[in-house]
Amino acid sequence: MDRLPGPASTVYRILRSAWRDFISIYYANTPTWRLLKSAALAFLGFGCWASGNLLLSVQPDWTWLNYLIAYGVLLVFYGPFTHIVVVPLAIRWRRRPQGFLNTLGKRISKINITFFIVLVIALGATAPGFMFLDFGAYGGDAPDVDPTLNCERVDGVVECTLSDEPGIHEVVVSTGGEELYRFTEPPYEWTVEEDELYESQGVRRLQVDVYGEDGNRLRRLVQRFR
């Protein structure tokens, strides 16, 4: 690496030093370090989870946010698990004589990170409902409106109903930014061909926005179909 040009050599040294610092922190195994790393990763995971959901509530077509949300959900639990369980095992097994556990100890961190990445991709692609938070309510003075959305698929047709509650002035049904229905009075019932729903990564989305009398959005409900 000494043959690299001056700027490239400097960048390489900085990157190598940063990598060594990262590795030393990653394998720091005192109780204090384990607690600090676990708390930091759990906090980062929750931040990614919440911010991804918040952005998705504003831009429902940004389906790439599913991967950010999946990363956050998993990191909340996987980060502490890694530094409380996996890293101590890796250190302990690497100190053992040559054998299976010694070999596994040298590779378990890479296996752990690879498995985490695979989980993020799988969870982001399937987008299960438990990943998503409800940021549909807006405004501290808005009425507490929480209608129930029920949708069923029958022979390629999606049939939906939204419960009527005091405070609902208007209901807008859309998919992929395209408005399908607009209701100003109950009953809030509609049907739509499944093929008409916006699809991304194998998931079809139907969005229902509920508005109050002053025009403020009170609730956003999203129904997903696979």
CA atoms of 19 and 32, how far apart (whole Å)? 22
pLDDT in tens, 113-154: 999 999 999 988 877 777 877 655 444 444 577 889 999 988
The confidence band for 14, taking pLDDT boundaries of 50, 70 and 90, is confident
CA atoms of 213 and 68, how far apart (whole Å)? 35
Please tell me what DSSP assigns to residue 86. Answer: I
Does the CA dihedral 110-65-161-216 come out positive or negative? Answer: positive
Greater pLDDT, 101 or 70: 70
CA atoms of 71 and 42, how far apart (whole Å)? 11
Question: Reduced to 3 states, what is the DSSP secondary structure of residue 129?
Answer: helix
pLDDT in tens, 171-191: 999 988 789 999 999 999 999
pLDDT of residue 135: 58
Backbone angles phi, psi at 121, to 5 degrees: -65, -45
Token digits for 220? 């956003």
pLDDT of residue 96: 85
Mean pLDDT in the chain? 84
pLDDT of residue 42: 93
For the chain, helix (H) and strand (E) counts, in that order, are 5, 8
pLDDT of residue 200: 72
CB 133 within 8 A of CB 50: yes
